[in-house]
Amino acid sequence: MTTTDADTTGSTAAAAAGHTSQPKTDPRGGAQTVTDHAETSPVAGMHGYAKQKDAHIKRLRRIEGQIRGLQRMLEEDVYCIDILTQVSASTKGLQSFGLQLLEEHLRHCVADAAVKGPEAIDAKVQEATKAIERMLRT
């Protein structure tokens, strides 16, 4: 699963400000970030997660806390199995977040493409399929 970097406050304002119709290459050599809502689209600048953005940020901060907890557990020489239990919980949290984001993508972005025609919906379905494939590999 590809992630994007946020500043220490978790703000995504910088990412939103750079929203364009062109794919961007991840500077770490990873996948591209695609922002494809044309300026003339009724959803220009909006993503499927927009309505739940605050809840998603809260959820990611909780997961971040779990990861920091893992670091503390190592520093405090906690028993291996207890650390593995926390790893599992953190992984499940990220998977759950990813599935929610995927559902929102399907409801919003794929539904928007359906209005635009068969080529647009085929592209969005293919994009969603590739995202699912990446999620299944983890």
Q: How do residues 41-61 score in pLDDT, each as one tens digit?
A: 444 456 767 778 889 999 999
Question: Which residue, among 51, 53, 32, has the nearest Cα to 43 in the 3D structure?
Answer: 51
DSSP 49: T
Confidence (pLDDT) at 2: 40
pLDDT tier, 36 (very low <50, low <70, confident <90, very high otherwise): low
Q: Which two three-digit tokens encode residue 127?
A: 């994009």
Kindly report, residue by residue over 8-26, the tens digit of the pLDDT: 333 333 333 333 333 443 4
Question: Which position has the token pair 């794929």?
Answer: 110
Q: CB-based contacts of 78: which residues, under 8 Å, 6+ apart?
A: none
The reported pTM is 0.61
User: What helix, strand, coil percent values describe the chain, rounded to 5?
Assistant: 65, 5, 35
* pLDDT of res. 48: 67
In the prediction, which pLDDT does 8 show? 37
φ, ψ of residue 90 to 5 degrees: the values are: -65, -40
For residue range 60-109, list pLDDT tens digits in order.
Answer: 999 999 999 999 999 999 999 999 999 999 999 999 999 999 888 888 88
